[in-house]
Structure 1
Amino acid sequence: MLALLTAVMLAAGSVSAQTAAAPMARPDGTAQDRPNMTPEQRADFQTQRLIKQLSLSTEQTPKVRAIALAQAQEMQNLRTKYATADTRQGMGQELKSAQEKTDAQLKDVLTADQYTRYTQLRENRMDKHQNKRGSKLKVKS
């Protein structure tokens, strides 16, 4: 009986140790969960998200993926260009320009309703991000 109890305790301890060692993935799939994705993986992730959120047609999907891939590649280039903290301040305008370019391309592919929904979702994500940044900044003060 003692041997059985010991074996069960060892098995439970082993499982909990493995669970504790593995990082927990966040259910919302935030960027922190995918820091080392390739541009292709990022484009696939964004395309899948937009398929679900906007109900993209089979005709729209490859066009949206191509736009997402171009944006992901451009973002990777900007991250490389502005890799140091000293150069990051100049990144803002280029990011804004890249986003405007992507938005214009998506506007040509999406229906009016889909584009409206897309802009609402993007604004919600930006607000959520700003709120997180604001709360982090307040904590540091």
Structure 2
Amino acid sequence: MKKILGITILTLVLFAGRPAMAQTGADLKNKTPEQRAQFQTEMMTSKLKLNTDQQTKVQAINLKYAQKMEPIIKGDAGRLQKFKQAKALLKDKDNELKAVFTADQFKQYQDFEAEMREKMKEKMGS
């Protein structure tokens, strides 16, 4: 159950593209915040076709929130508490990303996140 929680939180944290699915939650949990931020930025750049200026800003945002997420991922808090903390951080992160993305890019980002949440629900249900 703890592994599922870790994977769920990482899925919420990461904006992972289809190639990223090969990496497991455990693999990503063992990465540094810098590695996770770089991975997220690469996936967003590819999926959303970010320009150079956007990439720089998105990298900074991803790093900021990967660092803030680190104690949640590694912490001993209960599942519900971790989920609430992660959800609050992600809401703030989304607001910052919205200021960087075009309206179309932000819609694509939201659509992909919704798709990933559904896939996670299916995995947890089976």
What's the TM-score bracket when you normalise by the shorter of the two chains?
Answer: 0.7 to 0.9
**Superposed, which structure 2 residues align to 1:92-111 within 5 Å?**
92-111=83-102
State, as a whole percentage, how many aligned pairs show the same letter.
36
Q: What is the TM-score with the length of structure 1 in the denominator?
A: 0.70
Residue identity in the other structure for 1:29 = A
Q: Which residue of 1 aligns with 2:5?
A: none
Q: Which residue of 2 aligns with 1:133?
A: 124
> How many angstroms does 1:92 deviate by?
2.0
Q: Which residue of 2 aligns with 1:62?
A: 56
Root mean square deviation, CA, Å:
1.7
Greater C-alpha Rg: 1
**Superposed, which structure 2 residues align to 1:40-119 within 5 Å?**
40-80=34-74, 82-83=75-76, 87-119=78-110
> How many angstroms does 1:27 deviate by?
6.7
Structure 2: state its 5+ residue gaps.
1-18
The answer to whether the Cα contact below 8 Å between 2:48 and 2:109 also exists between their aligned partners in 1 is yes
The answer to whether the Cα contact below 8 Å between 2:41 and 2:55 also exists between their aligned partners in 1 is yes
> How many angstroms does 1:77 deviate by?
1.5
Judge which range, 97-106 or 32-41, deviates more: 32-41
The answer to whether the Cα contact below 8 Å between 2:29 and 2:73 also exists between their aligned partners in 1 is no
- After superposition, the Cα gap between the structure-2 partners of 1:119 and 1:27, relative to the gap in structure 1 and judged at 3 Å, is closer
> How many angstroms does 1:96 deviate by?
1.1
Structure 1: state its 5+ residue gaps.
1-25, 136-141
Structure with greater helix share of residues = 2
Residue identity in the other structure for 2:112 = L
- After superposition, the Cα gap between the structure-2 partners of 1:131 and 1:76, relative to the gap in structure 1 and judged at 3 Å, is same
Q: What is the TM-score with the length of structure 2 in the denominator?
A: 0.77
Structure with the larger RCO, 1 or 2 (CA within 8 Å, 6+ apart): 2
Residue identity in the other structure for 1:118 = Y
Query: 1:52-86 deviations in whole A, cap 9, x for unaligned?
Result: 00000001001001111111111112123x325xx
Structure 1 segments of 4+ aligned residues over 2 angstroms from their partners = 26-35
Q: Which residue of 2 aligns with 1:34?
A: 28
